[in-house]
Chain A
Amino acid sequence: MIYLDNSATTSPYKEVLDSFYKVSQGFFANPSSIHYLGGEVEQLLTKAKEQAASLLNVLPKELIFTSGGTESNNLAIKGIALQHQNRGKHIITTQIEHPSVLEACRSLEQFGFDVTYLSVDIEGKVSPEQVKAAIREDTILISIMHVNNEIGTIQPIEEIAAISQQYPKLFFHVDHVQGLGKVPLHLAHEGIDLCSMSSHKIHGLKGTGLLYIKRGTSLYPLVHGGGQQEEIRPGTENVSGIVAMVKALRLTFDNQKNKIDEISKLSRSIRECLAADSRIYINSPKTGAPHIINISVPGYKPEVVIHALGKKDIFISTKSACSSKHSDESAVLAACGLEQSRTMHGFRISLSFYNTEEEINQFCRTFLEVLDELSDVMGR
């Protein structure tokens, strides 16, 4: 099997599964129970949070565990909007955010919020000047992703953070789900107030995510309950999932240190090989994240190509899995201003630390073969 759909989800590390099992079995007590068993689990949870904080270079109390990237994004956006609506009701985001950001913003429009969806250039980039120009007296939140999930564009987070810092009423949220472990981001950087992360994108398990909330930032909780996690995200903690995520984070950061160059190398060879074929357009910018390569093959129906590759045990995706259920067009590619022949025929190849050069060579060869096989029916 050649798995190249790592931006949809990754296969869990073996060590992570082991921890998940051991914690589920041996530390099943409720961390809020006052008996000894509960105390032990509470300690484990504390330890896990401390380790996550030290890996991310933030304070333990600045981290809230959630059910995943979608919840983290919703909690950040709605939490800030509800808590600070008296200051203003304007939110700035971009047209190419993940649906959990875009839909959260749209839902707020029903409650009288005004949202600016910034356009992006052909590479999917938003400029700091655009952000600055969009800021109004009543703007309370900017939400911009670090790495785009479909094409891998890296947004100028540092510059935008510097701008948002000049406006004390403004909070800055970064969706770091795709960037985590691949493109470094300094959370403690002045100006980033909130940051979303997800476990299953870094070889952890589905059902756990993180939201960094800078000290002193107040949020209105989306759910109410028994006071766990600073009352921001109550509910009995998903201890096994949390421990698994923290372990995945540690292993991923180790890999990032040692293996990120390998991913960049694989990414370059995919680009070189596919760009040499006149049927294929590369959509991902060269300056983008190393693990995401988005291409278009005009005339070829993506679904058919995906299935043909699947038969040969090779797995890539069309656009992001989270929006594949809707229309055929990639909203991200459309926002980049590409014509329909490209936006309707996009593919995403996404890499992990597990992929090898051999796999990549085989993928490129097979991909071109599949195009050849289908060319009678679909070629232009």
Chain B
Amino acid sequence: MEFDHIIIRYGEMALKGKNKKQFILQLKKNLKQKFTSFSNLHVIRSRDQMYIKLNGEDHEKVIEKCQEVFGIQSMNVAMKVENDVDKIKEGALYALREAKNAKTFKVTTKRPNKQFPIGSQEMNQVLGGHLLSNTDQYTVNVRNPDVEIRVEIRQDATYIMSGKIQGLGGLPVGTTGNTLLLLSGGIDSPVAGYLALKRGVKVEAIHFHSPPFTSERAKQKVLDLAHTLTKYGHQLKVHIVPFTELQQKIFREIPEGYGMTVMRRMMLRVSERLAEREGILSLTTGESLGQVASQTMESMNVINEVTNYPIIRPLVTMDKLDIIDISREIGTYEISIRPYEDCCTVFVPKQPKTKPRKEKIHQFEDPIDFTPDIEKILENVETVTISEKSPRKELFEDLL
């Protein structure tokens, strides 16, 4: 006796109208990409839910993978048994024993098949009694059980389900367009990328690299962060931008207090041009209001002036501690706190302007022609495609 399928319930996409099918198809595609190591799984979609036939695969491992896919609200593991009281009893007992941490349970029977001789109320009692007399550690709690064993007696067979397992929610990645994420080595930007993915956005990343002021390790850190995000986004392109010369020029030509503001504006200019070239429709940043000098309302106003692209700022109103919580959950925190310099910290002025003024910016910036520098950068972008199974990770796994 074992669970033979998983039922997947859609999140918000269940509310969609005529375009619902696109969302469902994308979810199915994303799930199949997750399931490459399970050759026997069979995914069947319907309008209201999806079924995964396990065909002998370990349900816990499959669930684990499903919990990395956006667009799933919740899941149930389930089994199909004959319409026979003893078989149903046996199945219910298995389902309860599989609910590892539960202490209390309840049985809910539905009987659409009215030919089945025992009524649903009576069936609840029969099954509840069977479960209690065959186990020691459980008690019944009908109001707030740790696990609900649901039994549906239909025409063809009886389906037994246990415990609702939470999914990640959100929308399937690839259903809501794409974005270029400004990915530094810090804590915030990977979380912003994660939240963009959660809304179904396909994410590519841009990283500003300033060798030798920033090291190969800082770059590797960014690639590792991107690799962590592939868990949710399957594949991620990282565009590494050689930023050293432009940064040095800013450092030389712009008064120190405004250097950071101008650098940010340059980053957005470069990002917009790259997005345009790659057919990407928006930019995403990890900015959070009031966190640092470049993230005051005044700074954001002045910096935002250089682009008409929508800038998605998933963290803009979030507290730092909440951001840290998410980064721990998704596994980017430990990477983010590695102590290598990134390009924002090396050139940071001693006293950056927290309230930069537009006319000052133009006074400093306008006389200098940065166009050739930006063009040169765009010609020298290095693009790395990172997928969930990177050769590097496999090498380490092989060694260990």
Chain A interface (Cβ < 8 Å from any Cβ of B) = 19, 22-23, 34-36, 39-40, 43-44, 47-48, 51, 243, 246-247, 250
Contact = CB atoms under 8 A, between A and B. Distances in A.
Contacts of A19: 399-400
B396 A47 contact: yes
Nearest to B396: A47
B217 interface: yes
B399 A39 contact: no
A243 B215 CA distance: 26
Nearest to A250: B400
Contacts of A243: 399-400
Contacts of B220: 36, 39-40, 43
B217 A246 contact: no
B273 to A, nearest CB: 29
A36 B216 contact: yes
Contacts, number: 31
Interface residues of B, number: 7
Interface in B379-400: 396, 399-400
Nearest to B393: A47
DSSP class of A's interface residues: helix, strand, loop or mixed?
helix
A33 to B, nearest CB: 10
Nearest to A27: B399
Interface in B350-400: 396, 399-400
A22 B399 contact: yes
B217 A247 contact: no
A248 to B, nearest CB: 10
A37 to B, nearest CB: 9
A250 B399 CA distance: 11
Most buried by B among A23, A39, A44, A243: A39
Contacts of A22: 399
A40 B215 CA distance: 13
Contacts of B396: 43-44, 47
Contacts of B400: 19, 47-48, 51, 243, 246-247, 250
Interface in B216-232: 216-217, 220
Nearest to A242: B400
23 contacts: A19-B399, A19-B400, A22-B399, A23-B399, A34-B215, A34-B217, A35-B216, A36-B215, A36-B216, A39-B215, A39-B216, A39-B220, A43-B220, A43-B396, A44-B396, A44-B399, A47-B400, A48-B400, A51-B400, A243-B399, A246-B400, A247-B400, A250-B400
B223 to A, nearest CB: 11
A42 to B, nearest CB: 8
B326 to A, nearest CB: 21
B215 A247 contact: no
Contacts of A250: 400
A176 B396 CA distance: 28
A19 B217 CA distance: 24
A23 B400 CA distance: 10
Most buried by A among B217, B396, B400: B400
A48 B400 CA distance: 7
A51 B397 CA distance: 10
Contacts of B215: 34-36, 39
Most buried by B among A34, A43, A51: A43
A250 B217 CA distance: 29
B384 to A, nearest CB: 15
Contacts of A39: 215-217, 220
